[in-house]
Structure formats: structure tokens, C-alpha cells
Structure 1
Amino acid sequence: MLNSRKKWRLPDTYYQDGSMAEYILRERGYTIPVDDFITVSEEKLLSPYLMKGMKKAVSRIQIAIEKQEHILIYGDYDADGVTATSLLYLILKDLGAKVSYYIPNRFEEGYGLHIEAIKKAKVNGISLIITVDTGISAITEIEFANQQQIDVIITDHHEPLVEIPDAYCILNPKYAPCEYPEASLAGVGVACKLATALLGQLPIDYIDIVALGTVADLVPLVGENRILVALGLQKLNQQPSVGMSALIQVTNLNNKTITSGHLGFQLGPRINASGRLETATDSVDLLISEELDKALLIAEKLHNINEKRQALVDDTYRQVEEILLAEDQYLKNNNVIVLANENWNHGVIGIVASRIIETYYRPVILISLEDGIGKGSARSIEGFHMFNALQGCESLLDKYGGHAMAAGLTIQAENIPMLRNKLNELAGNQLSEEDYLPTVATDIVLTIPEVVIQQTEISTVEQLAPFGMGHAQPKVVVSGAKCIGLRTIGKENNHIKFTFGAGHYKLDVIGFRWTDKISSIENTEILADLRFELLGDLSINCWKDKQNPQLNLQDSVVSPIQFAESEEQAKKITKVLQEHFFNVQCISTSSMQEQQILKLCTEIYTEKVYVNPLQHKCIYVIIVDTKVEQLLQKSYRQPNREEFSTVYKIIASEQLVEKGNLIDKCAKLGIAEEFCNYILAVFEELEFIAIKNAEIKLSANPQKRKLEESKFYLEMLRKSMMFKKHMNY
């Protein structure tokens, strides 16, 4: 609560007024208008034939349909694989194909193509296999299929190995010869491109299934992924497919507007659950259902399996954490966490690995052992490419595959210690101490009064949805907030509802699983004396016909500048800060070092990164005298746009004016001389005016330009906004 173990990367500029959505897009590097960004349509999607191999794949499938060859769709057991399997099955059925599907059992067979499954396919008369979300590393298996006169079309999105399977054709945007512009498609996204080519149009009847798999696979929600998910959400909220409708009902979402958050955290996990604990067949059967009654029974079964999965994840997480805490030196001596256990369920260790990263922020591989063979799930952090790292350990592995941030592997138990040592060596060479502190990109810095007053603008930010990987829910820093109340909530009282305030403005803040963070503070009453920087997601909470802003709290840090009403309160604050931080300085108007100390304090904060106080020396300033606050308020106030406009109108009306006369006229209108000089400096830089010998002349036909184009304006704005945010003016 008092300190952060993350680096906060602040926006390049500070929000003043106007469209919050436009400001956030601009900070994220977009140059298109908000209306263009939020408008999604099929027309913005690329031609599927830009993907290498598409024409050949479509031709082969059309021949198979025409000749009524038996086609097998071979998928994966996660949500991406399940949705991709379901999509192609439905499309081929609609086209009149003779089609079946097969998904290997996670526990009996494991990931990917298997020779035994190909043998069964041959016995069943299969002449064409289409893989979805798998196949790019199945060199031996596809060679065997070729020997059986079975053609294999690979549709996949995983990283290819050095050697590529000799398949009939390959559809994979990450495959080097493929120059398809959208390399981040999910497996179901690649399947959707194939379906589009087969149909001659987007498979809009099943686009909600595409959206589910795309979000669940955690691919970046930008470009085509964003369009596919947005179109899928439209369908989900208007006329969902039968299976999705059943899933929505059992999760009690039928009276809500479905968002990408619901796909990722409620619907997706239920589709994933069957493949994690049992067989993924139930999930496919749900998504291809044509009868709602049947679909509801399957959806209820998946819901129950998911509850078991949640309990298993919690139990496994506790076991992993007990191991880490029991071995005092483990975290100190290991850059990469590699743990194995015979009692861990292979179906949930990937989720547990993700939770371990949230807590300890370092690469993790958890391995489930059985009969001397380990099946592992790997998750990584920025700066450590997990797939490349496993390539460097290839001689120790039976099988592996994946991406930069996640991978799977099979390994002999005796090789695990060597794998741990090799990965730690690689991480030691690639990662610095800074890399083990997660960086959080923040989008906007606001005070509580701004949050309350700007409710309408906050609600319009939702137009930028769908949010997800690569296009996250905007992260807001609420600055200079004082805690005026807190209480525990939730069935297990493990969440905290705070009330933070500034002046007479208040903001509700929810800290999920924040009870432990509060329990580390001996006396929570001290929170009322401190000012905080809060980081989280802002939303508008509707309750009993009232709409109020609410912050979902993700991180917090004590503000670098504190105000105390008395010497006694200053001593209390100093004591707390000295227990947690390096240096604290109290100042008053009698101090001759005020500006010097404040400069020291804010130097760190002039960078784009909020620096972790546990890792970097920092000075915390407590201001005991309100006169100092008044002094700073005067020194760092910024002219508003109305004052800029007033000065420009005076100059424009006279064309040529002496500077002294202009200052006098501005003074009568309440614009101070220092503000007038400031405005003139900006106007001169923007070439609105020319100043010579104390005479100000309006430029002939000045070009229309924004104030933000002035470097002087931006620099002064940065300084002004920094103090405004910290001091809550």
C-alpha cells in the first residue's frame, strides 16, 4: 500500500481538457481520429489470399467437398484450439463437406499431432487433415501422414522451428515465407481467414466464436484481432450462436452487455476448463450445438468443471508458494523459477504459472511429473523470449513449442536440474536487475476533482473498447489522494473498499485481494495523514439510479510531496515514511532551502517513469506551512486557454502594439504580467507574432497551429501539471 514494486511509465504529455479518448489514443501513438478508430467493419479486414498458401488450401478443400472425401479437423484442447475447431467444422458442414473433428486428450496424448491419431484417421477413411492451432512443429507426424497418402493442411499461429513440416500447404502468418501483414492472429483468427476464403465472405454467423478464441488466447487486440473481436461482441449482444447463448445463460450474463472482459474472465475459462481437467470434446460439442436445451446441459457441465478447476488452481498455487517461501535462497539464487511435482495437474499449471509471475515477476516453468516424464507450462516476462530460451535448451527437451511469453514442453525428469541451470544462465546474461521490476504503462494522470467533474469524458473512453492484450483498459493515475475511509468486503473479507478524497470531492476505490497489503501496516489510521498516487482502471459505477466514478486499484505509492497541518502531524508522517523509505525532509516558509529541496524531490518525477522507491534513492517532502502551498500555487499556475485567446484578440485588433500597453490592458482584464510574458513567448515560437524593440506585430496570415506545438508551452505545462497533480490544486 505504501510502496510499489513496479515502475510506472507516465504519459509524454499531461491531459488538460477536451476529449479524453482522443488524448489516450494520441499517447498510444495513434494519429487517426477517434471516430475512425472506433468504427469497425468487415471492409477493414485484409483479403485472406494475402496469406501464403491460401489459394492452394482452398482449392484442395473444395476438391475434397466436391468428391465427398472425409475431412478431419485436428485441433488443440485450449480455448483457441476449441473455437478454431468448432468454426471450421461448422463452415465445412454448411458447405456440404463430410467432416469430423479430433482433439487429443491432454493427459493421455498431450499437445499436437500424434501418429496414433493419424493411424485412426487412416482406418476411418480420412484423406485430408486440417490442423487448427497446431501442426507447425509436427515434422515426424506429417511425414507419417504423407506415407499414408493423407494430405495435411496446417493452420497455425505458433512460432515455427528451424525445420518445417512437409505439409500439403501451411497457413501461418509467422511462417517466414508468409508476408501476411497481421502476424499476431490467434489460431482461430487463421482459421477465420481460411473460412472467409472458402465462403467468399466473413463467417459472420459464427464470428462470436472467433471473438471468444481470440480474447482467450491473449493475442494483441489491435488490427484485425480488434475488428474480429468487436464484430463478435456485436453478435454476442444481438443474436449469439446457440452454444454461446447457453454459455452466457449459465454464467448469468444474459441481462448484461457482453465485453471482452467477460470473454476473457468468464466465458473463456469455462471453454478452457474441460480440456484442462477432462476432454475438450464437450466444449466443441457446445459451440457446434444447434439445440439450446442440449447446449444448456453441456454449458452447465462446463460451469461445474470450471469450479473444480478454480479450486485446483488455488491449491496448486498455495503449494508452489510454500516451496518458494520454504527455501529462503531460492528466489535469490534463481532468475527463472523451475519447479516440478508429481501431484500437480498438468491442466492447470499454466494458470498457476501466470499467477506466480503476478506475485514474483520472473520467468516460470511448472512441470507435472508422471512416470519419469514431465509436461511443463512456461510463462515469461518482458525481455526474456521463452520460445527462444527453450530453443537454447533443445537438447534437454523431448518436445516444445510456443511464443515469446508462453510455451509448453515435455522433458525427462533427470533433465530438469540441467534445464533450470541453463535457463538461469540465459536469464542472467539477458536480464538486468531493472528487468525484474514490471513496468506499467499509464495513460492519463488525474486528480480526484478532475475524475468527479469529468465523468462524462471518462464514460466516453469506453468507446475505445474492446480492450485486451496490446490495447489494455486505460491505466489511470489518480494523484494526491487522501484515504478517508476503508472497509473489507467480499465473502472472505479479502477485498478492500476505500474512499479517497481531495477537498470536498470523493472517489470510491476497490482493491481486490488487498487485505494482505493493508495487514502489513500496523496502524491503518496513519493512512488518513498521507497523500497517495493510485493506479488502476476507472469506470462509472451505476447503483440505485446513481452514477459515480470508481477506481479498480492495481497499485499505489505514497506521493512524493506531503502536507501536514501541524508539526505533530508532520512528525507522524515522517515516522511512517522513514520506516519505509530512504529520506524525508520537512520544510516551512522559514526554510531557505524550499525550492532546492523541491527540485531534488521532483527531479525523479520529471522522467517518464515513476521510480520504485525501494530500488532508487528518493526524497520525500513534507510541507508543514500552508504559505508554502500558496507560494507554489502561484509559481506553477498555467495560463488557461481563455487567457491565451484574450491576449491574441487584443493583438489582432490592433495589429501592432507596444508590449507595455499590452501588459496594462491585460492587467485590467486580470491577466498578470508573468502570464502575459508567458503567452507572448508561446505566440512568438508558433510564429503568430513577431517581437522587435518592445513592439508586438501580428504575423500576416498566421498558420493555424495548436498550443501543443510549442516546445516552451509543453515544458511549462509539464512542470505546472506535475505540481498540480502532486498538490491537488
Structure 2
Amino acid sequence: METERYIWNFLPSVNLMDITLLSRKLGVHPVVSKILLQKEYNLQKSREFLDSNLEKLSSPYLFKDMKKAVSRIVQAIENNEKIRIYGDYDADGVCATAVMQLTLQQLGANVVPVIPNRLTEGYGLTEEVIQRFYRENVNLIITVDNGIKSFDEVKLANQLDIDVIITDHHICDPQLPEALAVLNPFLEQDMTPFAGCGVAFQLSRALEMEVGGFNALELMDIVAIGTYADIVPIIKDNRIIVIEGLKLISGENHTGITALLNTAGRKPKLIGELDLGFILGPRLNSAGRIGKAEKALELLSVKNDINAAMIFARELESYNDWRKIKMEDIEKQATAMIEAKEEIPYGIVLMNQDWHLGVIGLGASKLAELYNRPSILLKDLGGYAKGSGRSPVKEFNLIEVLDLCSSLLDVYGGHSQAVGLTIKIDNVPAFKQEFNRYSKTMFKNIPSKQTININGEFLPSYDDFKLITDLKKLSPFGLGNEKPLFLARKVSFIDPREVGSGHLKAQLITNKGRIDCIGFNLSYLIKDIKQKPQDVVYSLRQNNWNNRTTIQVNIIDVRPSE
């Protein structure tokens, strides 16, 4: 029986002498120096990577329009002009809105944040919103995490004498909206691939440099959450943002974030980068999924009132519980629809009138993971449908496929691996065919399983704390800086058993002794791994429990040894 879930790709071997030399010069474990060399880092670049700190944050003025943006905002503050921050309802958008709101409030601006309702208004600026701002005598609109496609809306704002500053990180068209200033990393050369909140943070830093009176770096805990939750590469400035943000969260710098961790049963001092993506991010996201993103913004706006923070945190926790239930329902229904087909399409498109708009993106992501196919889920809204799509691998660009199907779509946009779209119901059957046809063409050279990269082969040891300590120096791990994976051959499992909801727990026996291991969602392997030795792909982590520190193997994949 084939048990492995992934294709195993072994990264290039590295000269032993080079490993030893770099290890001595950096004072790190040889395994860590090998990983750095596999990244093609020389001594200088390795030192820069390991010593990522605040001094290495890039200048916000690398954005060509930053001076224009700062000058206009300062003018608006000095003249007490009405400013609107127009955000987005996902975790990145809410964090970006909070960063801009807190910055401008500290500068004494006449500012109001606005986040659209996901269910009734949808993503991005609309002409109705511009008209509303005009009636409210607004002078300046600052978009965060949106705006780069708002051509007609910006044109209308200009006609009504409302200036617009766009801060966004989504893919740009060759032509840009005619805004007063546009801040987007795609417009700059070799810039950090910021999330929306990262662009807002750079604008906040530039305003601090120009005006003073506050410390933009104190916002890095909020920026770290939005950055990690939006799954942007954790490289360059993003790496520094996450490192420093985690320090602030650990130090309980932000009352709202601390309260959110407490309601989730997490201790701030023990959190890591995964908590940003799997604990904090989903809870902020959950508010937007039911059309109440302002609740997440209110939590991020609380600094010193623990009672108010706990009220907001408990509310977000209840939204997150609701999200889990809805997600399970969509997953069951969607997988049943796929399994009922004679063969799985190369491009999956499913529609249901009962699916919740706030959760179908998660459902599409789950299907893409389960079937390794680009997946789009649509909610039937009568004469039209709205939906979300996800790509299982970076090699498959959803935007490029939707470009080819654009004649059938009303509106679409997003990233290469995550999109949103609106389509007339009558066009859905043709879209299914076209999406499947283009997916088949583009997917034919993409493997049926996802690939994992293995850094090296060695047997884990229960007492190699030097390795664990030095591996931490490579963190935070995420897209663009994946957690190192290793291979151990011909290992045996002792007492494999199921714990929690489908997880595998056991001990591995090697010639270096026994070591605890955990395999998330791998309990189905228990029968197979009892029968014969296995080759195991794993990562290493430090486990702290009951004042005892141990090394634990996190099993990623297994297959029978030859």
C-alpha cells in the first residue's frame, strides 16, 4: 500500500568542507550551516539572514510615491480635513486598517476607518462608497489592502475633488488608477513582497519620520499577524516584521492581542509564528466572514482596557467556532459532489446556494489540498454567483486561467493562488468547461502530489539541544523560508496510537535511542507502521510540558523501508 502523501525531493548535497567551515565561522550546528548553503547563502549573506533586526528594515521611501503620500496626509492633518481609511475584511485588511487608524489618530488626524461588509458590499471601493464619502465632505481617501483595480472609483473621486492614496499589494495592471499616490510593491524593483498591512506599516514609518510624535515600530505585532495570515513570503522586511512582532506579542504589548490569545488558551510568552497563522489570523478573519469585520478592528484598537478587550476577544472566539462548523459542512458536501463524478476534473468548479460566502474560500482551499487540483466554489445568489478559488501549487496561476475565461466573468481578481470572482448563473456551465480545459492544459506537467523538499538524512536524537537551538535561528518559517525537513530511514515505531482528532502519537526507535513523535492527521497509518520499519520525513521541535523540555519529532510523511 502506498502511504506517502508527498513527492520527496532531496535538496542538493553540499561539500562537507564547506559545511564545516561555515559552521565554525558562524558558531552553528553543521546541519544549520548545510541548510544555509542549500539556500546558496555565503558567509556574509548567512550572517545577514541570522541577524535580521530592526536596523535592517528597508526605507519606506523606496516606494516612488511615498513622498507624495506623506505630504498629502500631513496637509490633511494640518487643515483638519476629513480622512477615510478604506480597508478590507480579511485579517490582512483589518490589520492594515488598524495600523493606519492608530497612526493617524496619534497624529491628531480627523480620520474614520471604514471596512466593507463582505456579504452585502464585497471587496474594494465602489462608486456608491465614493458618493457617500462626498456627501460626508470627505477630502482624502486612503485605501489599505485594496484599490489597485479601482479605476472607475478613483476617476469618480477625482471628479468630486476627493484625493485618493492607494496602498495595496495585489497584482497591478500595466495601467494604474489615476490616484494622487500609489504604493504597491509590484511597482518597485526588488522590493519586499509586503502584505497589505506591510505597505500600511511603511507609510506609518514614513509619517513618523516626517512628523514624529509616535513610534511606528510599536505596531509591528499587528503587522506580523496580518503578514503571516496573508501567506506572503517571510523574507527580507517580512522576516524582520514577524520576528519583532512576535517579541511584542510575547511581551504583551497589545491588550487586544493578549486577550485574543487568552480566550484561545494560548500563553503569549510561548507563541511562535504558527500561532499567527493558525490562532490569531483565523479569529480576526472570522469576524469578516460573517460581515462583522469591524469587531476585529475594535479589538485591535484596544490598547489598555482589558475588560473591553476580553469582550471583543470572546466575540471573535464565538465567530471562529461558527466558522469551523460551516467549514465542516461545506467540506462534506463538496467532497461528496466530487466523489459522485466519474472522474475528478482537472479544474474543480462547484456551486451550491446554501454555502456561506464568508467560508467558501476556506472550502476551496481544502479541496485544492485534498485533490491537488485548482478549486473554485460558488454560491448561487439567484441570477448570479459569487465565489472563491484556490490553487494547490505556486506553479499554477489562477489569475492567468481566469484571464483566459474573462469573457464569462463579471468581476475577478486576487493573487496567483487565491482569487475571488462574480459570474452570471447562465455562464457557469460554460465556465466549468473552460476552466477545466485550461486547467488540464496548464496542469499536465504538474505532479499529482505536492512536493516536499528534504534538507538531509540523519537519525534524530533525543538530546541534541544544540541543533534545536540553532534551528530556531532560521525561524520564523513560512512561505519562502520553509521549515527544514529531514529523512530517517528504517526506523520502528513503539506504541503508535491515536490522540486528539485523528493524530498519531508514538515513539521512534533509532540507534540513538527513543524519541517522542507526533503526526498530525496521520492516525490512519497506525496499522501500516506497526508491521515493518519505515522511512520517515520529519521536522524537529522543542516541546515544553509540565516544566520539562524535550525534543519531539513532527512526522510529515512515511513510507515502508526497502
Q: TM-score, normalised by structure 1?
A: 0.72
8 Å contact kept, 2:351–2:379: yes
Letter in 2 for 1:144: L
Q: Is the 8 A contact 1:270 1:306 kept in 2?
A: yes
- What is the rounded CA distance, in whole Å, between the counterparts of 2:447 and 2:143 in structure 1? 37
Measure how far apart 1:546 and its partner are: 4.1
Change (3 A) 1:91 1:504: closer
Could you tell me how far 1:368 is from its partner in structure 2?
A: 1.4
Q: Is the radius of gyration larger for structure 1 or structure 2? A: 1
Residues 434, 281 of structure 1: alpha-carbon distance in 2 compared, 3 angstrom cutoff: closer
Alignment match, 2:315:
301
Which residue does the alignment assign to 2:50? 38
1:222 has 2:224 as partner = no
Pick from 134, 139, 142 the counterpart of residue 122 of structure 1: 134
Contact 1:2 1:556 in 2 (8 A): no
CA spacing shift, 1:398–1:473, aligned 2, 3 Å:
same
Partner of 1:536: 538
Query: Helix, strand or coil for the counterpart of 1:478?
Result: strand
Q: Tell me which residue corresponds to 2:274.
A: 261
Report the equivalent of 2:25: none
Verify the 8 A CA contact 1:221 1:468 in the aligned structure 2.
Answer: yes
Match of 1:384 in 2: 396
Task: Tell whether the 8 Å contact from 2:347 to 2:440 is kept in structure 1 after alignment.
Answer: no
Distance 1:298 1:527, change over 3 A: closer
Query: Structure 1 CA distance, aligned partners of 2:40 and 2:379?
Result: 42
State the shift of 1:458 in Å: 2.6
Number of the residue aligned with 2:370: 359
**Match of residue 462 from structure 2:** 452
1:128, CA displacement in angstroms? 0.5
The offset of 1:502, in angstroms, is 2.5
Structure 1 Cα separation of the partners of residues 426 and 288 of structure 2: 28
Query: Of 517, 526, 534, which residue of structure 2 is paired with 1:509?
Result: 517
Residue 21 of structure 1: how far off its partner (Å): 2.1
Q: Residue in 2 aligned with 1:615? A: none
**Contact 1:383/1:435, CA 8 A, preserved across alignment:** no
1:370 match:
381
Give the structure-2-normalised TM-score: 0.92
Q: CA RMSD in A?
A: 2.0
Q: Is the 8 A contact 1:38 1:463 kept in 2?
A: yes
Note the 1:305-454 alignment, pairs <5 A: 305-329=319-343, 331=344, 334-380=345-391, 381-448=393-460, 451-452=461-462, 454=464
Residue 258 of structure 1: how far off its partner (Å) = 2.2
Distance 1:125 1:363, change over 3 A: same
Alpha-carbon shift at residue 396 of structure 1 (Å): 1.3
Given candidates 191, 201, 210, the residue that maps to 1:182 is 191
1:478-522 CA-to-partner distances (Å, cap 9, x unmatched) read: 2221223211111x4x2221222134722222122223344xxxx
Q: CA deviation at 1:35?
A: 4.7
Aligned partner letter, 1:532: Q
Give CA-to-partner distance per residue, 1:172-229, whole Å, 9 cap, x none: 1113xx33x2251100011111111111186112111111110010000001110111
Query: 1:153–1:169: 8 Å Cα contact kept in structure 2?
Result: yes
Q: Aligned with 2:335: secondary structure?
A: helix
Say whether the 8 Å CA contact 1:382–1:435 is kept in structure 2.
no
State the 4+ residue runs in structure 1 displaced beyond 6 angstroms.
Answer: 14-17
Q: Distance in 2 between matches of 1:527 and 1:52?
A: 57
Q: Does 1:479 align with 2:489?
A: yes
Letter matched to residue 11 of structure 2? P
Amino acid of the structure 2 residue aligned with 1:89: Q
Change (3 A) 1:360 1:295: same
Query: CA–CA distance in 1 between the matches of 2:546 and 2:314?
Result: 31
Please tell me whether the aligned partners of residues 485 and 500 of structure 1 are also in contact (alpha carbons under 8 angstroms): no
Of 548, 551, 554, the residue aligned with 1:549 is: 551
1:26 aligns with 2:40: no
Matched letter for residue 260 of structure 1: E
Residues 579-590 of structure 1: pairs in structure 2 closer than 5 A: none
Contact 1:475/1:536 (CA < 8 Å) preserved in 2? yes
Structure 2 residue ranges without an equivalent (≥5): 21-28
Aligned to 2:264: 251
Q: Say yes or no: does 1:142 pair with 2:154.
A: yes
1:271 aligns with 2:280: no
Structure 1 unmatched ranges of 5 or more = 519-523, 561-729
CA–CA separation in structure 2 for the residues paired with 1:27 and 1:411: 45
* Most deviating of 357-366 and 475-484: 475-484
Identity percentage of aligned residues: 37
Q: Supply the distance in 2 between the matched residues of 1:541 and 1:455 (Cα, whole angstroms).
A: 11
Give the 3-state SS of the residue equivalent to 1:154 in structure 2. Answer: strand
Question: Residue by residue, what CA displacement relative to the aligned partner does 1:64-89 show, whole Å, maximum 9, x if unpaired?
Answer: 01111000000000000000001001
Question: Among residues 91, 102, 105, which one is paired with 1:79 in the alignment?
Answer: 91
Moved more, 77-86 or 386-395: 386-395
1:597-634 CA-partner distances (Å, limit 9, x unpaired): xxxxxxxxxxxxxxxxxxxxxxxxxxxxxxxxxxxxxx
Match of 1:589 in 2: none
User: What aligned pairs does 1:626-665 form with structure 2 within 5 A after superposition?
Assistant: none
